[in-house]
Structure 1
């Protein structure tokens, strides 16, 4: 199951999940160029999956449809995505290129954000867009902390060996914040070193696995004693509940400078 991270812009990834016949599911093509270049090397797009309406995730769709007019474009129910040919929501299945993806509504970054989960007994893959990043999560542009926390909790309920494919190369920047939250987390130190080595080689730090994220990503660890201890020191008291703990982490990260 070739899983390709096609770099776009300064730090985006366009994902291509390639089947045995060479046909690929393309996820969040913010620009067409990387997909067209891969097509020149033999990649054949079979469908496009979109997670949310931001231009750096959908901006290349029209040009790709010019090249392949019959290419289906699956998207959330959001009128801001005008290039969609199929609209989907919570619990629906997307059948493309011989694969079946479950749709999860994960509001927070945007209100209509969705994720796509593949689990066919052999491969487990999650395309999380800008909801869950390696060692981080998306900013709350439209949703509430409670919505985002619920979305992250639902994604974290997927099997630990699920490969996480998110929309940006943010791992090292996120690691700096995560170490401020949990300076003694050994899984986090190992993941940081791994990511640093990969970037020095010019390689993507993704995909990672949900199991690794649960061990090291502070936004999936709002109940961990070490995270709560740090938040207690910041707030001068115990967080009132999980939502406040998450909200304070996200607020802190928004203004964090390594």
Structure 2
């Protein structure tokens, strides 16, 4: 069984080390802070053998070169990662699979936040690393793609088994909760989750990972078809409702 070590990086990122104890292969999912990631691996006696990027942004791929130079790790990710210097040794996209020791992950294209954003899904472990595509009660800003592309990406994630554990890359949950409860105020699952998140953050605890099941019940972007009557004309399409919510989140105070 894979071992997953999560730790804070930078201001609000999370670093993730995924370790196969049988083969001792270890992947860092993205590279927000090379020194921190290597220190965390060393503290556990894990040697980083692989770098798996979700997208090209510097807080996700900026540590590639330093970690590769120090460890010789193979870099896997979307081709867009080459934009910041350390190109992947292997470019992957929708339908590809990648191996970490004896474990296999399949690649989902979840573009929209960036055009080539991908996620890694370990089906046997019911675990997915979704980068900035989906957050707890939120989703990534659409910097490069279109609402149609982002909505299709979210639906790929939503189609995973409901008990899938999702690891997203940032601790944005309290801000996302304020937006979610504003637009979905009578949702009892959301009310309970907002209270739970407040307790976790008050205690200095992370709100990541989360399950897909709770996201389907409380994430306003996944629930856009159910919320469209309250935010726009009833005959709006699902993607129009999603786009409207995403635009409102961009300007939410």
Q: TM bucket by the smaller chain?
A: over 0.9
1:184-204 superposed Cα distances (whole Å, 9 cap, x missing partner)? 111112222222222222221
Q: Tell me how far apart the structure 1 counterparts of residues 149 and 55 of structure 2 sit (CA, whole Å).
A: 16
1:72-101 superposed Cα distances (whole Å, 9 cap, x missing partner)? 110112241542111111101001222111
Task: Report which stretch shifted further, 18-27 or 205-214.
Answer: 18-27
Query: Does structure 1 residue 45 correspond to structure 2 residue 58?
Result: no
Q: TM-score, normalised by structure 1?
A: 0.92
Aligned residues: 248
Contact 1:91 1:104 in 2 (8 A): yes
Residues 110, 239 of structure 1: alpha-carbon distance in 2 compared, 3 angstrom cutoff = farther
CA RMSD of aligned residues (A): 1.4
Find the partner of 1:89 among 89, 93, 100.
93
CA drift of 1:141 comes to 0.3
Q: Tell me how far apart the structure 2 counterparts of residues 57 and 105 of structure 1 sit (CA, whole Å).
A: 16
Task: Report which stretch shifted further, 106-115 or 22-31.
Answer: 22-31
CA drift of 1:243 comes to 1.3
Q: Tell me how far apart the structure 2 counterparts of residues 72 and 239 of structure 1 sit (CA, whole Å).
A: 49
CA drift of 1:59 comes to 0.9
Q: Corresponding residue for 1:214?
A: 216
Runs of 4+ aligned structure 1 residues displaced above 6 Å come to: none
Q: Per the alignment, in what secondary structure is the counterpart of residue 83 of structure 2?
A: coil
Contact 2:49 2:71 in 1 (8 A): no
1:33-63 superposed Cα distances (whole Å, 9 cap, x missing partner)? 2212212312322211100000010111111
CA drift of 1:239 comes to 5.0
Contact 1:46 1:97 in 2 (8 A): no
Give unmatched runs, 5+ long, in structure 1.
none
Q: TM-score, normalised by structure 2?
A: 0.93
Q: Corresponding residue for 2:110?
A: 106
Q: Per the alignment, in what secondary structure is the counterpart of residue 103 of structure 1?
A: strand
Q: Per the alignment, in what secondary structure is the counterpart of residue 105 of structure 2?
A: strand
Q: Per the alignment, in what secondary structure is the counterpart of residue 33 of structure 2?
A: coil
Q: Corresponding residue for 1:185?
A: 187
Q: Tell me how far apart the structure 1 counterparts of residues 104 and 41 of structure 2 sit (CA, whole Å).
A: 23
Q: Tell me how far apart the structure 2 counterparts of residues 200 and 2 of structure 1 sit (CA, whole Å).
A: 27
Give unmatched runs, 5+ long, in structure 2.
none
Q: Corresponding residue for 2:229?
A: 229
Q: Tell me how far apart the structure 2 counterparts of residues 80 and 6 of structure 1 sit (CA, whole Å).
A: 26
Contact 2:78 2:93 in 1 (8 A): yes
Q: Corresponding residue for 1:241?
A: 237
Query: Does structure 1 residue 169 correspond to structure 2 residue 165?
Result: no
Q: Per the alignment, in what secondary structure is the counterpart of residue 142 of structure 1?
A: coil
Contact 2:225 2:242 in 1 (8 A): no
